Amino acid sequence: MTDRTSRVPAYTFPTTLEEQEAALAANPLMRRLIEYRASYAGDRHRPAYHYVNPESMLNDPNGLCRWQGRWHLFYQGYPPEDPRQHWGHAVSDDLVHWRDLPYAIYPNPERDCFSGSTLVEDDRVIAIYHGTEVGNMVAVSSDPLLLNWEKVTGKPVIPIAAPDDAPWPPSVFDPCIWKKDGVYYALSAGVKDEGPAGKAVRANYLLRSPDLVHWEYLHPFVEDDRYSLVGDDGACPYFWPIGNRHVLLFFSHMSGGQYLLGDYDTERDKFVVTHGAKFNFGASTPSGVHAPSATPDGQGGVIVIFNMNPGKPTRDWNQIMTLPRRLTVDGDDLSIEPVAALAALRRGHQRLGPLELPANREVVLRGVEGSALEIEAELDLRTAPMVELNVLRSPQRDEVTRICFYKERGFRATTWMKGRVLRPGSRQSLVSIDTSYSSTAPDALSRAPETAPFWLDDDEPLRLRVFVDRSVVEVFVNGQQALAVRVYPDRGDSTGVSLRSQGAPSLLRSLDAWTMASIWND
């Protein structure tokens, strides 16, 4: 077998928290990561409060979990001396303030450590992930900061080729893991040729094991999926309970991040889908949301973080992580909110409103500006065909990122679209982030407006939470919808905020704005 030992220095750490902290303080790799992160402090497009890995590049987030009171985020990192995917690692007390830790899982015998998930047990954390060219791997850790990982058997436990000609899934790829009745279950991502005219559609193949070593293939896991598209695949799956339902989050290399909501038939070991929707509202590249990593929050919800793709070359780094989102359900309705701990970053509060917005005239909000902001606003759109909130605006609008709202301009309601009672003829409303004028830089790539549907009742105000962080804008709408894009303003004065009511007046009921503190020491 080929020796694929990583060239990145590897260390074994003590097993008590106090000793681990002392070892980290003296560790050469940790010093290197700290120095790398400090070297980026002057990069105007590197976010201040979104997680970005300390050195080189990153890709998919992996294995998000909570262990012994701390949140752990893993990700595909590319160390400079051996740029194959290793699992990078960060830890947080609140999902907002992150601290870098050494690389967690190194390749060998696999060529690269691709995506996977974790399962937290009482005495250990189990990681399952795809090892390229060999199959799906399992590693375990039980120390306080999850610094030491041991690979179960030292080889793939779900190999690409079927063992002993046993029934085997057609695809062995990105896995996730859970436990039921003392038995481990794993999904392996893939496709099946069961779409129209034999075209490929999303598939996730179910396996089970009593001991993490010996795995039996069962069958395709998902039933009644009418929501993913022909051509989608089921990469980066995360299957978790949410409220009294279950949710399967995944990434399609064709159409991006999405979810399926439904019920887990534990007798047949099948997931019966009742609803589905997307986290991407355009291609994942350039500048779009990419793959998820998700874990239960311990309170009936699910926490999810995505990586985001670049839209402009940046020095030795490219992708970033979104803010953590908390997902909850009521029937088939999925609610999406930023995690509450983000409020700890707020500084320099400004409050405006109520303020009448005249028709067809831009209103610049004096005193509300910056490249690292949170804005919380409530608007009554009245009869205005469109209302826009502009951020990262230069004084003459040479650069501006437009966040636009269109009341009842989406699809008409049908009986299956929403759990709540809708008046006859109701239509979805739309929110759109338009980056067409976000940057004057010749190498910054615009994307078609990111446009997402949501429901706004007749007397319901539009409620927004907007997060601006140097090169990323995230928008949360009425607890129902979230969308995010990368932006790269090139001018130093592109920091303004304005509102415009198109066609007819509307009312800004209130607007609160804060500058946001950095989560890093710089």
Q: What pLDDT shows up at residue 304?
A: 98
Q: What pLDDT shows up at residue 510?
A: 98
Domains in the chain (CATH in brackets) are 111-339 (2.115.10.20), 342-516 (2.60.120.560)
Q: What pLDDT shows up at residue 112?
A: 98
Collapsing DSSP states into helix, strand and coil, what is residue 368?
strand
450 close to 311: Cβ distance less than 8 angstroms: no
Query: What's phi and psi for 354, nearest 5 deg?
Result: -70, 150
Ordered per-residue pLDDT tens for the chain, 522 residues: 689 999 999 999 999 999 999 999 999 999 999 999 999 988 999 999 999 999 999 999 999 999 999 999 999 999 999 999 999 999 999 999 999 999 999 999 999 999 999 999 999 999 999 999 999 999 999 999 999 999 999 999 999 999 888 899 999 999 999 999 999 999 999 999 999 999 999 999 999 999 999 999 999 999 999 999 999 999 999 999 999 999 999 999 999 999 999 999 999 999 999 999 999 999 999 999 999 999 999 999 999 999 999 999 998 898 999 999 999 999 999 999 999 999 999 999 999 999 999 999 999 999 999 999 999 999 999 999 999 999 999 999 999 999 999 999 999 887 555 555 566 678 999 999 999 999 999 999 989 999 999 999 888 999 999 999 999 999 999 999 999 999 999 999 999 999 999 999 999 999 999 999 999 974
Max Cα distance, the chain (Å): 74
Return the bridge partners of 150, or none: 140
Give me the long-range contacts of 39-44 (CB less than 8 A, separation at least 24): 40/315, 40/317, 41/520, 41/522, 43/314, 43/315, 43/317, 44/371, 44/470
The amino acid at 442: P
CA dist., res. 7 & res. 134, Å (int): 20
DSSP per position, 57-120: EEEEEEEEEEETTEEEEEEEEE-TTS-S-EEEEEEESSSSSEEEEEEEE--SSSS-EEEEEEEE
Q: Is 463 buried (19+), middle (13-18) or exposed (0-12) by CB count in 10 A?
A: middle
Q: What pLDDT shows up at residue 242?
A: 98
Rg value, the chain, Cα: 23
Q: What pLDDT shows up at residue 476?
A: 98
Collapsing DSSP states into helix, strand and coil, what is residue 165?
helix
CA dist., res. 88 & res. 385, Å (int): 46
**Rounded alpha-carbon distances, angstroms, from residue 222 to 106, 113, 254, 514:** 32, 26, 19, 44
Q: What pLDDT shows up at residue 462?
A: 98
Collapsing DSSP states into helix, strand and coil, what is residue 19?
helix
CA dist., res. 500 & res. 361, Å (int): 6
Q: How many CB atoms lie within 10 A of CB 396?
A: 9
**Which residues are CB-neighbours of 157 under 8 A, at least 6 positions away?**
135, 136, 137, 138, 209, 212, 213, 215
